[in-house]
């Protein structure tokens, strides 16, 4: 297998930390190990260091144990791990594609309402979607009339910031949100006549928000738990589940994000299931979760271009109903390491490199999205 170069695109802050090995939760060693196993040499680059006219770039490569920044031919295949939020960045990515440079995960952040709308078009996924609407004064009134527990989230937010819970307790509406006044960063307020504070209303209606019914999640030690499911395309070009783990919210909030203090554990630990029990319910449960997650990835991949790597947040009720919560286009992956699932953590780096190898071997063509599904597990 010939040794070829594959690009890993970071944003500027992460890129600057490469010489000192300070790349946050991104493991350069994992990329290198995974790429090498597929006959690839990774180079780490930024969008702004690409000269498209000459098809060259300035990138970090590892030589003799240290990272060296050098000018080199632009790789034909690039795995995007940066957040290109500006229009100019998106236009530059489009120019790369038009020049035959295959970038996968072209965008890794999409508005939550857009993702929800795509999934709602799939009849088999509607049962797995909480009822959700764009936030407007009328939709807020409607949701408060029909549901007694709601989540209000920024349409483009991340890692749990800006999320609010609006719920009824003992006949009174209450609001849980982030606040600087609380030592823990979160506080719950009683609402006067069910009216949200003006500051909260300005935030909700000033920027795009989504209002959705709050799913009664299964609990671990009294704390709500959701699941992170890594779904990726590998060397065969097909979507499959790389692994999954559970996240329990800290005691002071309802948000399970690891960055907000969520506790990470295996599915078996979260739900008290015995992994060694013959015919264990764990295997059946994980198979059902995997079927839903894979269907979600197929559906999103058919509408969102060049998608290859997703971290899905799914919820499970006591009745074992599975619900979609959120889609992460730049899965941070380190939850597997925190849960003691090292093999799965390594695999989340390996499969994107296998997919990059496939794109190189296919001369930059994108595998057709499969149209059949295993409904037996669904």
Domain CATH code at residue 365: 3.30.470.20
User: Do residue 231 and residue 246 come from a single domain?
Assistant: yes
Q: State how far the alpha carbon of 32 is from the alpha carbons of 7, 39, 42, 203, 362, in Å.
A: 11, 10, 6, 43, 22
* Rounded-to-10 torsion of CA 339, 343, 344, 346: 110
User: Do residue 251 and residue 371 come from a single domain?
Assistant: yes
User: Do residue 318 and residue 360 come from a single domain?
Assistant: yes
Give, to the nearest 10 degrees, the angle between helix 28-37 and helix 342-361: 50
Number of domains in the chain: 3
**pLDDT of the residue at 375:** 33
CATH number of the domain that 49 lies in?
A: 3.40.50.20
Query: Does a structural domain hold residue 48?
Result: yes
**pLDDT of the residue at 378:** 33
Query: Does a structural domain hold residue 110?
Result: no
State whether residue 377 is helix, strand or coil: helix
Q: Is 165 left (phi over 0), alpha (psi -120 to 50) or beta?
A: beta
User: Do residue 191 and residue 226 come from a single domain?
Assistant: no
**pLDDT of the residue at 235:** 95
- Predicted TM-score (pTM) of the model is 0.89
Q: What is the residue range of 21's domain?
A: 4-104
Which segments in the chain show pLDDT lower than 70? Answer: 1-2, 85, 157-160, 180-184, 252, 259-260, 274-280, 363-378
User: Do residue 244 and residue 369 come from a single domain?
Assistant: yes
* Rounded-to-10 torsion of CA 276, 280, 285, 291: 90
Q: Residue 326 is inside which H or E element, if any? A: strand 322-328
Nearest to 326, CA basis, from 176, 207, 226 = 226
How many C-beta atoms lie closer than 10 Å to residue 110's C-beta? 17
List of residues 6+ apart from 341 with CB closer than 8 A: 243, 245, 266
What is the per-residue pLDDT across 83-116, written as a single tens digit (0 to 9) for each? 876 888 989 999 999 999 999 999 888 899 999 9
Query: Does a structural domain hold residue 346?
Result: yes
User: Do residue 194 and residue 141 come from a single domain?
Assistant: yes
Residue 179 dihedral angles phi and psi, to the nearest 5°: -155, 145
């Amino acid at each position: 297998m010939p040794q070829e170069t594959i690009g890993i695109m970071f944003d500027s802050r992460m890129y600057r930390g490469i010489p000192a090995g300070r790349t946050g939760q991104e493991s350069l060693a994992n990329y290198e190990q995974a790429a090498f196993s597929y006959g690839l040499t990774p180079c780490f680059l930024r969008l702004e260091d690409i000269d498209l006219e000459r098809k060259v770039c300035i990138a970090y490569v590892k030589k003799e144990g240290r990272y060296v920044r050098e000018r080199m031919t632009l790789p034909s295949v690039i795995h995007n791990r940066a957040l290109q939020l500006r229009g100019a960045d998106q236009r530059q990515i489009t120019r790369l594609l038009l020049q035959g440079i295959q970038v996968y995960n072209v965008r890794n952040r999409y508005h939550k309402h857009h993702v929800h709308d795509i999934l709602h078009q799939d009849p088999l996924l509607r049962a797995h979607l909480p009822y959700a609407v764009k936030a407007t004064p009328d939709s807020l009134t409607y949701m408060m009339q029909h549901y007694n527990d709601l989540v209000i989230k920024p349409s483009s937010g991340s890692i749990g910031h800006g999320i609010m819970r609006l719920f009824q307790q003992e006949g009174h509406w209450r609001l849980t949100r982030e606040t600087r006044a609380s030592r823990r960063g979160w506080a719950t307020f009683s609402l006067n006549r069910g009216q949200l504070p003006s500051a909260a209303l300005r935030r909700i209606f000033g920027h795009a928000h989504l209002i959705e019914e709050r799913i009664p999640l299964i609990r671990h030690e009294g704390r709500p738990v959701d699941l992170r499911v890594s779904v990726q395309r590998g060397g065969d070009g097909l979507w499959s589940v790389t692994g999954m783990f559970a996240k329990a919210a800290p005691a002071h909030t309802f948000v399970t994000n690891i960055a907000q203090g969520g506790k990470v554990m295996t599915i078996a630990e979260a739900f008290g299931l015995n992994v060694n029990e013959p015919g264990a319910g764990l295997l059946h449960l994980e198979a059902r979760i995997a079927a839903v997650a894979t269907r979600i990835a197929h559906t999103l991949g058919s509408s969102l271009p060049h998608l290859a790597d997703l971290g899905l947040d799914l919820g499970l009720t006591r009745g074992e109903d599975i619900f979609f919560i959120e889609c992460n286009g730049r899965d941070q992956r380190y939850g597997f390491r925190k849960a003691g699932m090292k093999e799965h953590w390594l695999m989340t780096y390996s499969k994107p490199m296998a997919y990059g190898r496939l794109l190189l071997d296919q001369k930059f063509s994108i595998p057709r999205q499969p149209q059949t599904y295993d409904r037996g597990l669904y």
